[in-house]
Amino acid sequence: MSSMLPASHNRWKNLALLCPILFIIIGSLFWLALQPDLRLVVPEVIGVCALCVVALGVLLFFCERGLIRCPTLLILIVALLLRLFFVAGPPQLSDDLYRYLWDGQQLRQGGNPYAAAPAVASASIEQEAIRGKINHPELVTIYPPAAQLLFGVGTLFGNGASGFKLFLVLLDLLMCMVLLRLLAVLHRPPWWVILYAWNPLPILEIASSGHIDGAAALLLLAAVLLLIRKNDNNPEQGQRVAVNLGRSQRSAPTAISQWLAGGLFGAAVLVKLLPLVFLPALLLLCRGVWRFFLGGVSLCTLLLCLLFWPELTNGLATLDLYLRNWEFAGFAFHLLRDLTSGGTARLLLAGTFVLTAAGLYLRAWRQNTPFAVIEVSYSLALVFLLLTTTLHPWYALYLAALLPLAGGPAGIVLCWSVLLGYQVLIPYAILGQWQEQTWVGGAIVSAPFCALLGGLLAARWLRSSAHAR
């Protein structure tokens, strides 16, 4: 009997610490889900998400010190619950989902979504209701071929927004599974998946708004998983040194794994083009035998593009228009544009990103470890968000997906601060006026820098305290 008392005591202590944090996260997001229009409560959205991020930080602090045990099954159940809160409601913070539904229905009816813009395409009575909600209906769809296939599958869950969002939620739960497997391969504790599974950003952008960037991130990390081999020589959990292995100690991925990984990566790029910046990272994971991987990428890309050829060229015209003219919440771009011109600012930012990416990948190549590659990918995602001309909050989903694997304070905070961009919806929802403010972009990018500085100071203080003892 006496031997059971410590276990019982620890169980109650675990519940006493975990339950308040769960109450804060679940209760806060449930309150948001009850709001009739999130556009009218943007300050509350930002505040609630900040509270959840703080709660996640406290939870990770306790888990790191062994004060809280968070079972994997509980993590997945809570992740599903948080997403189901938002599935039934219409998308409110973004209207991209209606374009997805339109394209998916066009595809299911045997049409080619790239053939004509929604404004001039023929439509059924059911599709007319969707057409009226599409953003820029005068433009042909910009979404790549793999995204179109996802749109078609998503409409099988129902022609409305809720069915499509349920499909994306299922993919998002699969993302949590992939992250758990990657954490095991990298010898990191499974509770790190909380940084994605309970993060407000994926919940709002996927379960609420229905963005497909989560599906692209899923395909990207699935490709990474295929290219990483688990090493069992060092059983210690949570140690980065566990994956710090020389080339001779690691087995290269098989040809089949490389083909499959290449196909998954090609599909990720053809869902959203942003994963293309991670191509060097996956080539590094191939460990010098990359021809099969590139073969898989090429084959997948060719087959998917042929499905929609030649009308696909109409979508490329829309993409060109986007790259040349679109901008949103890009603080660095706004500053450079005011000093030079829009075209010059884009070139300067693109050049800066390329040089930064080259330096980061060179570092990963020299270190020659899977963790170094993933850590550099995380840093690159962070740099991309800070330099991009268009910073929609859902673009940060790729960064959020990498948080459990190699994240730090700057990335965690940026996944919250991007939500500040939604302030533009307040006057838009009330007055129909789209009014961007430069200070918002400044606040978005300054928040992660402050978090990084705070983390460095805290680490220094902890080291000093440890030496003093």
pLDDT in tens, 57-66: 999 989 888 8
Kindly state the average pLDDT of the residues 113-130.
Answer: 84
Kindly state the average pLDDT of the residues 197-202.
Answer: 97
Asked whether the beta carbons of 121 and 160 are under 8 A apart, the reply is no
Of 78-87, 123-132, 217-226, the range with the lowest mean pLDDT is 123-132
**SS3 at position 142:** coil
pTM of the model: 0.90
Bridge partners (DSSP) listed for residue 464: none
Nearest in space to 52 (alpha carbons), one of 204, 228, 155, 164: 204
| Full residue range of the structural domain in which residue 384 is found | 327-469
Structural domain includes residue 394: yes
Mean pLDDT for the chain?
Answer: 87
Structural domain includes residue 84: no
pLDDT-based confidence at residue 245 (cuts at 50, 70, 90) = very low
Q: Are residues 197 and 307 in the same domain?
A: yes
Structural domain includes residue 304: yes
User: How far is the C-alpha of 360 from the C-alpha of 377, rounded, in Å?
Assistant: 8
pLDDT-based confidence at residue 368 (cuts at 50, 70, 90) = confident
Q: Are residues 267 and 165 in the same domain?
A: yes
Structural domain includes residue 452: yes
Each as own residue / partner, the long-range contacts of residues 163-166 (CB below 8 Å, 24 or more positions apart, any chain) are 164/97, 164/100, 164/101, 164/104, 164/210, 165/86, 165/87, 165/91, 165/97, 165/206, 165/207, 165/208, 165/210, 166/87
| Pair of tokens at residue 452 | 């990084």
Q: Are residues 139 and 257 in the same domain?
A: yes
Given a cut of 50, is residue 348 above it in pLDDT?
yes
Nearest in space to 392 (alpha carbons), one of 420, 413, 412: 420
User: How far is the C-alpha of 30 from the C-alpha of 236, rounded, in Å?
Assistant: 38
Placement of tokens 């994605």 in the chain:
196
Instruction: Specify the pLDDT at position 328.
Output: 84
Structural domain includes residue 27: yes
User: How far is the C-alpha of 5 from the C-alpha of 26, rounded, in Å?
Assistant: 31
Given a cut of 90, is residue 203 above it in pLDDT?
yes
Q: Are residues 201 and 256 in the same domain?
A: yes
C-alpha to C-alpha distances, 183 to 226, 228, 243, 378, nearest whole angstrom: 13, 11, 11, 15
Q: Which one of 313, 336, 361 terminates a domain?
A: 313
Given a cut of 60, is residue 239 above it in pLDDT?
no
Given a cut of 60, is residue 157 above it in pLDDT?
yes
Q: Are residues 334 and 266 in the same domain?
A: no
Q: Are residues 163 and 254 in the same domain?
A: yes
Asked whether the beta carbons of 274 and 212 are under 8 A apart, the reply is no
Instruction: Specify the pLDDT at position 468.
Output: 61
Of 87-101, 173-187, 225-239, 436-450, the range with the lowest mean pLDDT is 225-239
Instruction: Specify the pLDDT at position 464.
Output: 67
What b/e readout covers 441-464, taking b as 16+ CB neighbours within 10 angstroms? bbbbbebbeebbeeeeeeeeeeee
Of 4-8, 323-327, 347-351, the range with the lowest mean pLDDT is 4-8
Instruction: Specify the pLDDT at position 374.
Output: 94
Given a cut of 70, is residue 459 above it in pLDDT?
no
Instruction: Specify the pLDDT at position 385.
Output: 94
Given a cut of 80, is residue 469 above it in pLDDT?
no
* DSSP code per residue over 388-401: -SB--GGGGHHHHH
Q: Are residues 59 and 95 in the same domain?
A: no
Given a cut of 70, is residue 251 above it in pLDDT?
no
Q: Are residues 30 and 126 in the same domain?
A: no
Instruction: Specify the pLDDT at position 16.
Output: 79
Look up residue 200 and give its amino acid.
P
Look up residue 104 and give its amino acid.
G
Q: Are residues 106 and 57 in the same domain?
A: no
Structural domain includes residue 1: no
Asked whether the beta carbons of 188 and 205 are under 8 A apart, the reply is no
Q: Are residues 211 and 143 in the same domain?
A: yes
Q: Are residues 62 and 113 in the same domain?
A: no
Domain count, the chain: 3
User: How far is the C-alpha of 327 from the C-alpha of 324, rounded, in Å?
Assistant: 9
Q: Are residues 282 and 373 in the same domain?
A: no
